[in-house]
Structure 1
Amino acid sequence: MTLSLGMITCDSTDPVPLATWWSEQVGGTVADPFGGTFLMVRGDNVPVQLAFQLVEDPTPGKNRIHYDFAAPDLDAEVDRLVAAGATLVGRRGDDSFAWVTLADPQGNEFCVASAGASEAELSAG
């Protein structure tokens, strides 16, 4: 038997606006079958479902698992995300490979790299 990735879930004390924000960023739609306690972002442009679940007390500190995205124009995408409410955490890498770490409106860090980046390079983020 082998595992397959079903979705990536993010804890939140207020998951509805977070799911909405992410759906707008990835071009997906929000499914809310559980009345605001567990929401899923789906769509043709979302290869793995993103989920957001209501918790009273999220795990403190830096998130150990984060989203890595690829974009055809890294700088333009970072500018768009910051204008939409993301916070720039840092620019990383060098001339051979660069990525940008951002945080969503609730402080969850994620990375964006150039769409031409190899799979190995993305997993280093």
Structure 2
Amino acid sequence: MALTLGMVTTDTTDARALASWWAEQTGAEVHDSYDGGFVMLIGGTLPVRLAFQKVDEVTPGKNRLHLDLTAPDLDAEVERLLAAGASLVARRGGESFRWVTLADPQGNEFCVSGPDF
């Protein structure tokens, strides 16, 4: 028997708001369950479901798990995400490969690279 990845879930104090932000960025549909306590994204450009689970307090410190996303035009996508409310953490890499670490509106870090990932 082998495991398969069914979903990536993020703890948050406002599951609806964070799910809505990510839905706008990926073209996914928001499916709200349990009166905002658990919100899932389906479809869009996502190869796997993303979910957001309401918690009273998020775990402090750096993410131990993060999304690595790709875009056909790295610079244009980073500018679009920044305009949509993401914040810049760091621009990384060198001539052969570049990526940018951003944070969503609730501080969850994620990376975006060009298509040569």
Letter in 2 for 1:89: V
State the Cα distance separating 1:57 from its structure 2 match: 1.2
Name 1:121's counterpart in structure 2. Answer: none
Question: Would the aligned equivalents of 2:26 and 2:44 in 1 still touch at CA under 8 Å?
Answer: no
> Counterparts in 2 of 1:10-25, with a 5 A limit?
10-25=10-25
Residue 7, structure 1, aligned to residue 7, structure 2: yes
TM-score by length of structure 1 reads 0.91
Letter paired with 2:9: T
Percent of aligned positions that are identical:
62
Equivalent AA in structure 2 for residue 20 of structure 1: S
Counterpart amino acid of residue 31 in structure 1: H
Return the TM-score normalized by structure 2.
Answer: 0.97
Deviation at 1:47, TM superposition (A): 0.7
Paired position in structure 1 for 2:103:
103
Structure 1 counterpart of 2:52: 52
Query: In the alignment, what sits opposite 1:122?
Result: none
User: Which residue in the other structure is 2:68 paired with?
Assistant: 68
SS at match of 1:31: strand
Q: Deviations over 1:37-76 (max 9, x none)?
A: 0000111421110000000111100110001100000000
> May I ask how many residue pairs the two structures share in their alignment?
117
Match of 2:39 in 1: 39
- Give the counterpart letter for 2:57 in structure 1: D
Moved over 2 A (4+): none
**What CA distance in whole angstroms lies between the structure 2 residues aligned with 1:44 and 1:90?**
27
Shift, 1:115, TM fit: 1.5
The amino acid that maps onto 2:29 is T
